[in-house]
Amino acid sequence: MGAISGIYRFGSDADAAPAGSSIFRKLKVCSFQRTEEWSDRSVHLGCGIIYNTPESKMEQLPRFNEGQTLVITADAIIDNRAELLEQFKLKPGESPVITDSELILRAYETWGYSCPEHLIGDYAFAIWDAGKKELFLARDAMGSRTLYYTYERGFFAFCTIETPLLELFGEQAELNEKWIADFLAIDGIQHEMECEETVYRNIYQLPPAHYGIVSAEGFSKKKYWEPLRDIKPIRFKTDEEYVEAFNRCFSEAVTCRLRSAGETGIFLSGGMDSGSIACAAAPKLAEQGKKLYGFTSIPVPEFNERPPRMTIYNESREVGLIAETYPNIDITYSSFADKNCMTDIDELIRIFEQPYKIFQNMTWYHSFLKMAASRNCTIMLNGQTGNNTISYGNFAVHLVTLSRQGRIVSAARELYGFSRLVNEPVTKVLRSAIPVVLPHRLKLWKNRTRLREFDRFTNVVVKRSLVGKWNVTSRLDQIEANTPISRYPDYEEDRKARTSPLPFTHIGAVETKLSLANGITIRDPSRDKRVFEFCMAIPSGQFVRSGQERYLLRRAMKGVLPDPIRLNIIAKGLQSADWMYRLAPIWPEVLAEAEQALEQGSLEAYVEVDKLKENLAKASGDVRKAEDSLVRSILTAVIFSRFIEDFKRRYS
């Protein structure tokens, strides 16, 4: 696994090698163990390899198939190797090692364009089919690896990251104003509202679960996996059967991700997602005489703010319980006391190739990746998607579902069960439940006066003229962002939201680029396609029962995850709770930088200047007492201004 690039020139006699080599040179800023290029007259392919699995050390990429008719370059870890080896009648363990790229080539030879449907793992690859004069590209179903492209008259170029493709535009490279408008308009950490758009004009993403075909006739793409269409319902007779099936699936997902060329690390919190993954991984690594290296963020020692009820700021106690249960888990706790949201901005802009809004956790996330890589970890586990898969269970969604189905007695049982769990009177729980089950249209009607006065751009500083120019409001409506009235979906509506490719696109870009920057591959068992499909296929009642959320994982982890974590239904951890506390010593400098950016005029085309000035004035005191949304709007503006200035330096 690593990164890939390529270009296909058609309709002329132009040589692809010069442009292809230029793209690949820019890609080689990443730290690879090996790099190779291949070209003929019209096609150039490049690959940088990072040794993250035992098989990756044997990869020779780009490479031919046996018949010399296909050439592949791939950024891939294939997880259903055993199934494919059996399918192709290949025996594991024989020499030479059968690499993941060889399995992809055989899959293409066997199934053609439908080969991605048979591949499970994290991948993006391109195959040049010399016989068809076609370039075939594919991205994994969950979007765990990125694949960017640009398509102009006479050529198609692609790359794992964006900026090498800008070499094709030179000083004429431009920013995508539509993407920027969306980025600045979303009240939250989401970066985009469309899967294919990027911050750069004429550079796009191949969306998750898509393949593309490039020929002299043009470029076409197709979605090969549609969750709501392709995932069939799973129904068992007993609860025990659901748990057994889940454990088989989850265990396999974890095991696949322990194929490490070095050591294995994990971002470990005190919650159920990463905790369950750690508790499943540790015994498997112990059998190999290996450790699991856990990395846990804690607040700075002097941060003594009392957390709200049901919130945990420091999860070291819970993480310690996991380490006590599994002695081969080696925990590193760190607060990175010398860091704050501003510390690594320039480095992170370079890594992400765009402005970003996930600054709150980057204080420790990026730092832990560096630390893990220095300890010879080549795989870094996390449970980023767990809330939507393994630990899913939303009481409000379940209650709405029962209500809409007319199952009033069942809904009453759930309310009674919930009241017992939280030790609150049933009447109080019932009062809280009424707004949840109330039809959304009725809530809108009741709040019609408030809605007329509501400004959905109150917490952001996007320029209002851009909102109108790019019809931003309609896209906000599509993703239900910046809304004043919460809408509680039923299970099927929530299932649709959980299968949206937008979160996968966002997470895939962040993890791919951080992985490349640190020479360590981030992998998430809770985002395994098989786990995802299983969790989307089973009934709502397996996730919530008698008011208890996360019901499936609580049962599945019995005897595996320590009970104080498994049975905790009250308290939830909050990572980076001290993020504004850390900013306090440098806050005057942040405000000064924002004011300077306004004076320089770099923000004027994209930001409401008066609104930002107003926010700066409101936040001029102690940042620890400022509103969260206010501080976020200022930091977003500062990060965005630095990105704009960097782009101007490089491409103006």
pLDDT tens digits for range 201-237: 999 999 999 999 999 999 999 999 999 999 999 999 9
Q: Tokens standing for 487?
A: 């809408």
Q: How far apart are CA 53 and CA 209, in angstroms?
A: 23
pLDDT at 602: 87
The mean per-residue pLDDT over the stretch 478-492 comes to 89
Q: Which tokens in the block code for residue 112? A: 């053609």
SS3 417: helix
Contact between 504 and 511 under an 8 Å Cβ cutoff? The reply is no
- Tell me the three-class secondary structure of 380-398, residue by residue: EECCCCHHHCCCCCCHHHH
Provide the angle, in degrees to the nearest 10, between the axes of the packed helices 501-518 and 359-374: 40
Question: What distance in Å separates the CA atoms of residue 135 and residue 545, rounded to the nearest whole number?
Answer: 50
Residue 92: pLDDT band with limits 50, 70, 90: low
Q: Give Dmax (Cα) for the chain.
A: 78
pTM score, whole prediction: 0.95
Q: 277, 561 in Cβ contact below 8 A? A: no
State how far the Cα of 508 lies from the Cα of 78, in Å rounded to an integer: 16
Q: Decide if pLDDT at 94 tops 60.
A: no
- List, for residues 239-265, the tens digit of each pLDDT value: 999 999 999 999 999 999 999 999 999
The residues, ordered by sequence, that sit 6+ positions from 610 with a Cβ below 8 Å of its Cβ are: none
Question: What is the amino acid identity at position 225?
Answer: W
Give per-residue pLDDT as tens, 577-625: 999 999 999 999 999 999 999 999 989 999 999 999 999 999 998 999 9
Beta bridge partners of 150: 157
The pLDDT tens digits for 170-186 are: 878 999 999 999 999 99
Distance of CA 204 to the CA centre of its chain: 17
Digit-coded pLDDT (tens) for 112-150: 999 999 999 999 999 999 999 999 999 999 999 999 999
pLDDT at 531: 98
- Least confident span in 50-54, 425-429, 603-607: 425-429
Q: How far apart are alpha carbons 374 and 393 in whole angstroms?
A: 37
CB 475 within 8 A of CB 462: no
pLDDT at 570: 84
The mean pLDDT of 96-108, rounded to a whole number, is: 92
Q: Identify the three-state secondary structure at position 91.
A: coil
Structural contact between residues 42 and 13, judged by C-beta atoms closer than 8 angstroms: no
Percent of the chain with pLDDT over 90: 85
Q: Are 476 and 185 in contact (CB under 8 A)?
A: yes
Q: Would you say 55 and 97 are in contact if contact means Cβ atoms under 8 Å apart?
A: yes
Domains of the chain in start order, with CATH, are 2-225 (3.60.20.10), 229-388+521-573 (3.40.50.620), 585-651 (no CATH)
Query: Can you tell me the distance from the alpha carbon of 278 to that of 268, in angstroms, rounded to the nearest whole number?
Result: 8
HEC secondary structure over 216-267 = CCEEEEEECCCHHHHCCCCCCCCHHHHHHHHHHHHHHHHHHCCCCCCEEEEE
Q: What is the model's pLDDT at position 616? A: 95
Instruction: Assess whether pLDDT exceeds 90 at residue 443.
Output: no
Q: Which of 507, 536, 537, 500 is nearest to 523 (CA)?
A: 507
Other Cβ atoms less than 10 A from the Cβ of 614: the count is 13
- Supply the mean pLDDT for the chain: 94
How confident is residue 102, by pLDDT bands cut at 50, 70 and 90?
Answer: very high
Mean pLDDT of all residues in 346-364: 95
Mean pLDDT of 428-456: 83
Tens-place pLDDT, residues 118-128: 999 999 999 99
Rg (CA), the chain: 25
Length of the chain: 652
pLDDT for 652 equals 74
* Of 292-306, 358-372, 432-446, 571-585, minimum mean pLDDT range: 432-446
Cα–Cα distance, 91 to 94 (Å, whole number): 6
Q: Is the pLDDT of residue 274 over 70?
A: yes
Question: By C-alpha distance, which of 325, 296, 328, 327 is closest to 312?
Answer: 296
